[in-house]
Amino acid sequence: MGLAMVLAGALAAPLAGTAGLAAASEPKDVLAANARFYAALNDMFKGDLAAMKTVWSHAGDVTYMGPTGNFEHGWAAVLKDWEGQAAMKLGGKVEPAEIQVTLGGTMAVVSDYEMGENTNAQGQIERLKLRATNVYRAEDGQWKMVGHHTGPLPYLAK
């Protein structure tokens, strides 16, 4: 089975209790979930993880490949990575730009640039522009993040 078939099946596969959301969802619903993620990301830069815990699915199949260069699997590992970043209190702000939504069934993919600034380990402001892919799944009537992938930042890479 080719990759295109696997992806098509994954995007079309319904999850229990989510068919109503999938049928009624439009790109604007996914864009709203994506906006909540970026608001949560900006809160995380200040050390506050409450919103980040809300936007993510807490399932064992979530994945996170963030600016540290790590590849985390499962909610416990993803949360631990976010906790480490929140502890750094990088400050700054990141906004999505050039947003593209692909919506299929109970899954949605958002591709965008993350543009903004953070403070590096030396206390200097760093401008950034990173490519990002955000994956959402319909869970209990809401779009929850199940994957986030962005390029590594040299000052965060381990």
Q: Give the residues across from 142 on adjacent strands.
A: 139
Q: Which residue has the higher pLDDT, 74 or 155?
A: 74
C-alpha to C-alpha distance for 114 and 111, rounded to whole angstroms: 10
C-alpha to C-alpha distance for 120 and 59, rounded to whole angstroms: 31
120 pLDDT band (50/70/90 cuts)?
A: confident
The per-residue pLDDT for 158 is: 56
Decide if pLDDT at 94 tops 60. Answer: yes
Residue carrying the six token digits 């990088």? 90
Taken in order of first residue, the domains within the chain and their CATH numbers are: 19-150 (3.10.450.50)
Stretch 22-33: mean pLDDT: 82
C-alpha to C-alpha distance for 57 and 145, rounded to whole angstroms: 6
Q: Which residue has the higher pLDDT, 41 or 14?
A: 41
Q: Which residue has the higher pLDDT, 7 or 70?
A: 70
